[in-house]
Structure 1
Amino acid sequence: QIAENKKALMEATELREAESQENMKTIAEATEGKDSVQTALTVLKTFYEGAAFVQRKFVPTNSDREGNTVADKAPEVFDSEYKGSQESSKGIVGLLEVILTDFDRTISTVTEEEGESAEAFATFKSENEADTNSKEESVGMKEDEVANIESDLVELADSKTSAEESHKQALDELSKLHSMCVAGEETYEERVAKRQKEIEALKDAHDMLENWQ
């Protein structure tokens, strides 16, 4: 279980780091794109607004009382290109503004997702490490218990050996005492025979003394 916890945490850490790097890359690219679009918008708006201002305010020379020149009186085909550019500018600016909004949304969304992922990982990491520490403490306590039991078993084995030695010594002593008791016992016949031999020996000694005198 402890090994599984550590493996899971290691894998989750690797995934979180990879995800975070990808999110940071996305945010950086979106920010760079946003800045580029913002710059383009500023340039375009400045350009087209300036052109419109000139178109409204500038009165060319050699014009009539209404400000029309010979070119203005030419067929419409000659000024259609400029008017088309003015109209298309609105479409370009609008498209860039949509892209700018998309970049803003991407930055906001990815930033929020990164925060949520980081918070979820921090919670998982904290719970995982707490569970691992608890299990390691439990294992440590059990190892201590096993060590104590093994120590008690060694003491019991030593006590058993000592008791067996004491028992053997006691048996040896009993055997010796038994041998002495059995060897020291004499039957009635043996005692009579022994006394008879002693009497015979005394008689022999008495006879020897008398003969010597």
Structure 2
Amino acid sequence: MTDLRLVIFDVDGTLVDSQADILAAMGVAFDAAGLVAPGRAEVLGIVGLSLPEAFARLVPAADAETRAHMTAAYKGAYADLRQRQSVDASSPLYPGVRSVLDALDAQPGMLLGIATGKSRRGLRAVLEGHGLAGRFVTTQTADDHPSKPHPAMIAAALAETGCDPRAAVMVGDTEYDMAMARAAGVTAIGVGWGYHDRARLGAAHHLIAGIDELPPLLDLVWEDA
């Protein structure tokens, strides 16, 4: 195993709080199909899945054409919302995230990555808006992989960085992140400030209540590696 270490982050609900735009865009998507949008908890419960999979779960009785129409409406609405206001306003970083990313990035051999259900365009907007575009050496999105919890995103991140699964962790707020990590053979770290409550994070190897707990936890995870 090399000396490299890889910390892979989810985005929505882990690094940034984008729920206002997610809920608004979902409302537009359901309006476009003439349907009543589900409540906040149900919508946030599917965050992390790719949009086709999310709509398959939210409107299982709808045909493929309707779901495709809803997916397009959601993407258009989300992009429109992003243009109306800054990323800091629409998808603010959670408190402490920037300083922890800075601290991890400064450690020799520590690599940072992304595995997200967002599109490549959406991820680019968030990272550029927060001045983080060059921070992550590997970025995996829903455009290029099956939806979480399929392990393809993590497998690609490991291949791109040359890291062994034992030298990698996945940090996320949903059960899909934890299941993906387990399937890929990496350590699953669940966060307590996101969109799934702790009861849904049972597959996590570790849980943290604040982002400041991550660096010392990583020391423990890798102390014998």
Both proteins in one fold, TM over 0.5: no
Give the TM bin, normalised by the shorter chain.
Answer: under 0.3
Give the TM-score taking structure 1 as reference length.
0.20
Determine which structure has more spread, i.e. the larger CA radius of gyration.
Answer: 1
* Larger relative contact order (Cα-Cα within 8 Å, sequence gap ≥ 6): 1
More strand by share: 2
